[in-house]
Structure 1
Amino acid sequence: MKKEPIYVAFSTQKGGAGKTTLTVLIASYLHYVKGKNVAVIDCDYPQHSIFEMRERDFKMVDEDEFYKGMAYEQVTRLEGKKFYPIVESNPQEALNDADELCEKEEYDYIFFDLPGTLNNKDLIIALANMDYIIAPISADRVVMESTLNYMISVRDNIVSTGKSNIKAMYLLWNMVDGREKSDLYEVYEGVIKELEFTTLKTFIPNSLRFRREQSESRRPLFRSTLFPVDKSLIKGSNIEELSDELLEILK
């Protein structure tokens, strides 16, 4: 019997919350480090940021001997395991594209990068077919209000119907500034608790390292569709801790 993949979406209606970066970081870490079979469906039309990132990554590998060597070493270390597929899609075709992937290969997780507006029937159908939704939040009033309203809408209009596949929804503290007062987070946590939402234990700190991609400078990589976070940068990023927590709950 063929294994059914788990559908996961880092999803929110607030732009700049970090859902695309988190999708790439977690997909790459689970695939290249944890040995899981992962795929990504990029439905964030029209920018398709993840698909475009993959194109840039491949171009850099093709043109730069340093990255070409990294790719060869990784494929050798992983005993021929391929780079995870990234499909350029849209909310209407997302589920069909996922089905086509699964006809060719078995996957543990398929990550969906979805647009945030809920006024689209196709997007609502796609969301309803997710197993898990993870919404990044930050200690900013506009971000919090927007994200919580989004979560309330998904819960009340999709989950409550009893006709969705959604097993659980989680909030994830992202871009956390260690200099901020902890009582600010306590206030927001109180609001989240009142709304009966669950926050992941792991938080992601605010750091410039999250913007590091492949470049001619050949600095250690952080955000890449072809490689996991560089070992020299992983400490303190909480990507490893978040990956472990997700492996525990995404079942």
Structure 2
Amino acid sequence: MSETLFVAFSTQKGGAGKTTLTVLMASYLHFVKGHNVAVIDCDFPQFSIKDMRERDLRNIERNPYLKKIAFEQFKKLKKRAYPILASRPEEAIDTAKRLLSAETPPDIIFFDLPGTINNVGVIQTIATMDYIFCPIAADRVVMESSLKFASILNDTLISTGKSNIKGLYLLWNMVDGREKTNLYSIYEAIAGELGLEIMKTFLPDSKRFRKEGSEDEEKSSFRSTVLPPDRILAKGSNIDKLAEEMLTLLKR
């Protein structure tokens, strides 16, 4: 069996989509691709993903439509929802050891890390990751912040061999339309000069990425910690392509 990989969508710019991407990829790889995953929510003190799990369970309990979907899924897959553990960033690796000591450790543990790298404990946790995916958007403020963040990791941790990081990849998120403008080419050139690699897959700017289940509507959810992304909503989202590219990079 392959050893458990530590993976994080990480950036120091809020609103870049790292928490949403963590949930989408964790759910897609767990429920659709058959990998066993776990999530450690380090977004202290709000713990966004842990709160999302509680909302998901509450909505399924109160919504007959979602309850039926969840029952049919469990009947088909015979697979429970992946575990989500809350942890302070500096204690995340100790929290992960609890998962690694299980009879069947996860194939992949996703870490939802805070953006700041001014904390020694956070830096030590980041340095323990196997792979880091940094969401970027064609916005000057977001790009400057993300490129600075990725460059610091690359120059101080990866290039120096002072970390466990095997790969750092930038990911275009919230792309406006299917055609990339010259702005994207300019930013990609800058990233290349900094020695940073950008993934081939990009994710479109779409409201579906914020669509969760509800207590009363008979509508499927796209972002959920207990259900895979709805197939109809997933069309054109590129999350299937992102998952395949990620698995290739992770050698899984």
TM-score by length of 1: 0.96
Alignment of 1:4-83 (within 5 A): 4-78=3-77, 80-83=78-81
Say if 1:32 and 1:228, in contact at 8 Å, map to a contact too: yes
Q: 1:59-116 deviations in whole A, cap 9, x for unaligned?
A: 11122222221111111110x2110001011112110111101111321110000001
Which one is further off, 58-67 or 224-233?
58-67
Separation in 2 of the partners of 1:162 and 1:12?
Answer: 20
Say if 1:3 and 1:106, in contact at 8 Å, map to a contact too: no
The reply to whether residue 118 of structure 1 matches residue 120 of structure 2 is: no
Separation in 2 of the partners of 1:196 and 1:160?
Answer: 10
Aligned to 1:230: 230
Structure 1 stretches of 4+ moved >4 Å: none
1:124, CA displacement in angstroms? Answer: 0.6
One-letter code of the match for 2:83?
P
* Equivalent in 86, 100, 103 of residue 102 of structure 1: 100
Q: Secondary structure at the match of 1:186?
A: helix
The reply to whether residue 86 of structure 1 matches residue 84 of structure 2 is: yes
1:179, CA displacement in angstroms? Answer: 7.2
Unaligned residue ranges in structure 2 (runs of 5+): none
One-letter code of the match for 1:157?
T
Separation in 1 of the partners of 2:157 and 2:64?
Answer: 49
The reply to whether residue 172 of structure 1 matches residue 182 of structure 2 is: no
Alignment of 1:175-186 (within 5 A): 175-178=174-177, 182-186=181-185
Separation in 1 of the partners of 2:161 and 2:136?
Answer: 26
Unaligned residue ranges in structure 1 (runs of 5+): none
Say if 2:66 and 2:220, in contact at 8 Å, map to a contact too: no
Which one is further off, 56-65 or 199-208?
56-65
Q: Secondary structure at the match of 1:173?
A: strand
Aligned Cα root-mean-square deviation (Å): 1.3
The reply to whether residue 203 of structure 1 matches residue 196 of structure 2 is: no
Say if 2:151 and 2:196, in contact at 8 Å, map to a contact too: no
1:241, CA displacement in angstroms? Answer: 0.5
Q: Secondary structure at the match of 1:202?
A: strand
1:3, CA displacement in angstroms? Answer: 4.3
Say if 2:175 and 2:202, in contact at 8 Å, map to a contact too: yes
1:180, CA displacement in angstroms? Answer: 6.8
Separation in 2 of the partners of 1:19 and 1:248?
Answer: 20
One-letter code of the match for 1:158?
L
Separation in 2 of the partners of 1:162 and 1:195?
Answer: 17
Q: 1:117-174 deviations in whole A, cap 9, x for unaligned?
A: 1111110110000000100000000000000000111122222331311001000000
Aligned to 2:141: 142
Aligned to 1:240: 240
1:218, CA displacement in angstroms? Answer: 2.5
Which one is further off, 53-62 or 150-159?
150-159
Provide the identity percentage.
Answer: 57
The change in CA–CA distance for 1:230 and 1:181 in structure 2 (over 3 A counts) is closer
TM-score by length of 2: 0.96
Separation in 1 of the partners of 2:2 and 2:150?
Answer: 29
The change in CA–CA distance for 1:218 and 1:143 in structure 2 (over 3 A counts) is same
Separation in 1 of the partners of 2:73 and 2:178?
Answer: 37
Separation in 2 of the partners of 1:62 and 1:108?
Answer: 29
Separation in 1 of the partners of 2:134 and 2:105?
Answer: 26
Say if 1:39 and 1:109, in contact at 8 Å, map to a contact too: yes
Say if 2:156 and 2:162, in contact at 8 Å, map to a contact too: no
